[in-house]
Structure 1
Amino acid sequence: MEGYSITVIEPEIGDGLELKRLYEKRKRVIDIIGSFIGIILLFPIFLLVAILIKLEDPKGKVFFIQKRVGKNGKEFNMIKFRSMVHDAEDRLKELLKHNEVPGAMFKMKDDPRITKIGKFIRKTSIDELPQLFNVFKGEMSLVGPRPPLPREVETYNENHLQRLLITPGCTGLWQATERNNVGFEEMVQLDLYYLKNRTILFDFKIIFMTIKIMLIPNGE
């Protein structure tokens, strides 16, 4: 564990623990099959988006790889399509004062670092699709809490750290419902609700809700 102290909210014993273990095994099988099929079927979209990104900003790379914190505080490299200018990280410090949400997460509606193609793939969540490779590797799941940045975790209290008890996901309850309408604390509450109530059926429901948002974006 990368120096993060994580305490379980409600330890499960007996039948409850066995059910969760069975759920985790089934979920991993679904993640492997789902991510593999997704990568194959979405390859044409991957290729098209990659070309458009390079045409708009040739200096930058197609993919944006960023260190994130996963289950039990273990760090991993999360992959996304690059939606910002190539020097976006260097510009972040000067924009932190314009953060529009309280807490550890940075969000700015009209972030000047976002490219034209970047705005579209963010609005439709296409920028998240390469995370299917993270899912296939076991670093992420199809459904789970948004994986935070290390600098965000450094500001977490014990309640926030509960988010790190389970594998982070490409999508989650926050992304599928209130993504652009709530702040950090509300996002944490949605994640903790998912943590306590997660089932295979609930996971599929969140996936279908996410697909709906991708087809009918709720704005950025």
Structure 2
Amino acid sequence: MDSNPTRPGYHHGDLRATLVLAALELLEAGEPFSLRGLARRAGVSTAAPYRHFADREELESALAVHGLRELRSELTAGRPTPTSAAEVGELAVGYVRFALRRPALFRLMFGQACDDQDDERVRASRALHDHLEAVMAEVYPASDPAVLATAGWSLAHGLAFLHLDGKLSHADPAASDERVRSTFAAVFPPVVQPAIEDS
């Protein structure tokens, strides 16, 4: 952890982003943070953060949004939309890997209620669900994609927390990946195309 409270490259135009990233570093290091403490870390007046966040809760909400967007980016960046059940399983593997790599952020992302339909967390969460829905529509065109997206998200999320909470071991990352794959294969089987009868 950098002991210098002034973050290199800071300028007033990106104070909000600077504070979010500083809070993220402290969160993942298991260190407490406050708006005043973040101001000191950023090398600005103690009043400056309050121009962007009314209180710690608002800052934590911004962290949750950051995490949801980062997760969606990791699941989609540089990858074509999955077209098979096996690729849906790989999406779940990526989800659980993110949770295990960023446990404090992951818990924060899903540990707060969303306030209303205009809440940034609602929109970030909906974007993730929309992506999963598009995947399910592609892989299982004969089924309800919204229902399958919710089912798939619930399964991946449950697996993530079972690993995080020590109910499932993640000492061996390869074994954890395979557990997620086999669980998804059991619940989301391959789509069998109907045979074309000869005329």
**TM-score normalised over the length of structure 1:** 0.27
Instruction: Give the structure with the larger strand fraction.
Output: 1
In terms of Rg, which structure is larger?
A: 2
**TM-score normalised over the length of structure 2:** 0.29
Instruction: Give the structure with the larger helix fraction.
Output: 2
